[in-house]
Chains A and B, each alone.
Chain A
Amino acid sequence: MYPMINIEGVRHAYKTPSGPLPVLDGLELSVEEGGFVAVVGPSGCGKSTLTRLVAGLMKPDHGRVMLHGEVVSGPRSTVGMAFQNPVLLEWRTILENIMLPLEIVPTKMSKSEQKDRANYLLDLVGLTGFGDKRPSELSGGMRQRASLCRSLVHKPEVLILDEPFGALDAFTREDLWQTMHKVKAEEPFTGVLITHDLRESIFLADQVVVLSQRPAMTQYVLDVPSDGPRTLDDLYTAEASDRLNILRHQIEVAQGRAPADA
């Protein structure tokens, strides 16, 4: 069996007026079906490039990005994306926003089934009754919830989350972490989460990948085994504290502020 997402020896450089700018150099990543990987690393290390590669929005110069054992050669409808900016269309209601992917992706669902699915997702993320509102009537956290619904409405196999909670306040963010667990239980997906928040990475993911500074390579992989449901209290255990220390150290190594192999 192939892993759901498999990235092998990816190197990539952006063309700039002052010559090529390498962003990825030796990226390795493998996510099993149903797995949830968090990617952390110094600012500007190419994390967003990684999401664009997996989404098929761009192709790497070298190496392979594979989904289900197939090389990604372009966008595919089995991928869902959510960004730090919820990018809701202001002229549409929340429900219409959530149903947007179904207008692009071929679907067997009838209009009323689509509506039911959108409403079901709204219930799941705690936005019951907000379907007829406009995005401008919702708070930041609520918009991000709606954006999450939109990324899931076409039942993607792979969910790519590019710092979706980065712009939210700490309380709202923790609420959304819990919502993510609830969503993952009801709507299984294979996830890649780009984040700057180490606590977020160990709370949500079952594997944390640390990237080095640009040009980024896979520097460290931390498994976060899980036995049963996680609660916020789990973040305040000795085990969690150890993991955070390891990750913090790895980030410092990536930034060149600490010697490798301490």
Chain B
Amino acid sequence: MAYVPDPVAKRETPTGGGMGRVLTSRAVLAPLIAMVLFVAFWEFLVWANGWPDYVMASPSDLPPAYAEYWGLFIKMGWQTLWRTVVGLVLAVIVGLLLGMVMGFSRLMRDALYPLLVGFNAIPKATVVPIVALMFVGAHDFNTILIAFMISFFPIAVSVSIGLSTLEPEYRDILRALGASQATIFWKIALPKTLPEFFGAMKVAVTLAFIGTNLMEIVSPHGRGLGALFDSGKTNSDYPLMFAVLIALAILGIVLYYVVVALEKIFAGWADRQGG
């Protein structure tokens, strides 16, 4: 048995792999038009119903509100942002660790899963006053804690599922060569879990944001956009309240797309169609 002329890959054609998406004008214009239409509809609705601004502020009420409190928006917005991000970073660290423990050990998964589900099922709005009382005055700490508590769950679950569903062959190709568990984790398990991880991050980033604002609204003498919202409420400044909502939406969009950008960098390979 020896060399036989080989017709090789002639009949096999590569599957299409159109990598890389060009940022078209459509990708920018389409959402922009959608937003403009939404704002126009909102304005029309308020105008058509003749609602006063204490029932529903209209978009045209917002620029004066922003102009008046611009300094506060920047300051409070920054507070909300950094506390959300710190809470999220904590959630990533703890979520990854928990996910790894549950992903690799069946026993730990069986033991911890019901506990985690129960923990996650508790409405965080009920936890907020408890935390606020437990650590009175530690406002930054409280806010970060809630942001963390509300957002680590999806990360832990997705990482554990990603790791526990790793096909045995993936382990075997390295194990058969004598690779350690740590090597298998870094070279195969972790990168293979990244798409699931970033999927969970997209959920977690929004949740962390909600957690931060819950705490900011509830705790007395709070800081951040939540507190600004609360002061708008106390002063019956409805345009301010709506302005805060829009500011929150914008911050949320920014955070979300930061995660999307990170996903493109670290798990871009999972995006096969490129569209």
Contacts and interface: CB of A to CB of B under 8 A. Distances in A.
Given A75-B177, A89-B192, A104-B183, A136 B17 contact: yes
A57 B177 CA distance: 10
B170 A141 contact: no
A206 B270 CA distance: 42
A206 B1 CA distance: 9
Contact of A134 (B7, B188, B269): B269
Contacts of B169: 83, 85, 87
A87 B173 contact: yes
26 contacts: A55-B176, A75-B175, A81-B172, A81-B176, A83-B172, A90-B192, A90-B270, A91-B194, A91-B270, A100-B174, A101-B173, A136-B17, A137-B15, A141-B11, A142-B12, A172-B11, A172-B12, A175-B6, A178-B4, A179-B8, A182-B3, A182-B4, A184-B2, A185-B2, A229-B2, A229-B4
Interface in A13-30: none
Contacts of A125: 8
Interface string B47-77: 0000000000000000000000000000000
A178 B6 contact: yes
Interface of B: 1-17, 19, 167, 169-170, 172-179, 183, 187-188, 191-192, 194, 267, 269-270, 272
Nearest to A206: B1
Contacts of B5: 178
Interface size class on chain A is 35 or more
A108 to B, nearest CB: 16
Interface in A126-163: 126-127, 130, 133-134, 136-142, 145, 150, 154
B4 A74 contact: no
A15 to B, nearest CB: 14
B275 to A, nearest CB: 14
Interface string A86-103: 010111000000001101
A226 interface: yes
A145 B270 CA distance: 22
Closest 6 CB pairs of A and B: A126-B8, A137-B17, A91-B269, A141-B12, A104-B177, A185-B2
B8 to A, nearest CB: 3
Contacts of B172: 52, 55, 57, 81, 83
Interface of A: 36, 52, 55-57, 74-77, 79, 81, 83, 85, 87, 89-91, 100-101, 103-105, 125-127, 130, 133-134, 136-142, 145, 150, 154, 171-172, 175, 178-179, 181-182, 184-186, 206, 226, 228-231
Contacts of B173: 81, 83, 87, 100-101, 150
Contacts, number: 132
B176 A178 contact: no
A117 B221 CA distance: 67
Contacts of A101: 173, 177
A175 B8 CA distance: 6
Nearest to A105: B177
A56 to B, nearest CB: 7
A228 B2 contact: yes
A229 B6 CA distance: 12
A181 B3 contact: yes
Given A52-B172, A83-B173, A175-B7, 16 more contacts: A55-B176, A57-B175, A75-B177, A79-B177, A83-B172, A91-B267, A100-B187, A104-B174, A126-B9, A133-B14, A133-B17, A137-B19, A141-B9, A172-B12, A181-B1, A228-B1
Contacts of A228: 1-2
Nearest to B194: A91
Contacts of B19: 134, 137
A139 B8 CA distance: 13
Contacts of B2: 181, 184-185, 228-229
B4 A230 contact: yes
Contacts of A140: 12
A100 B173 CA distance: 10
A138 B179 CA distance: 27
Contacts of B15: 136-139
Contacts of B191: 89, 91
Contact of A139 (B12, B174, B177): B12
Contact of B179 (A104, A134, A142, A150): A104
A101 B178 CA distance: 10
A130 B17 CA distance: 13
Given A100-B187, A139-B15, A75 B178 contact: yes
Contacts of B1: 36, 181, 184-185, 206, 226, 228-230
A74 to B, nearest CB: 7
A181 B270 contact: no
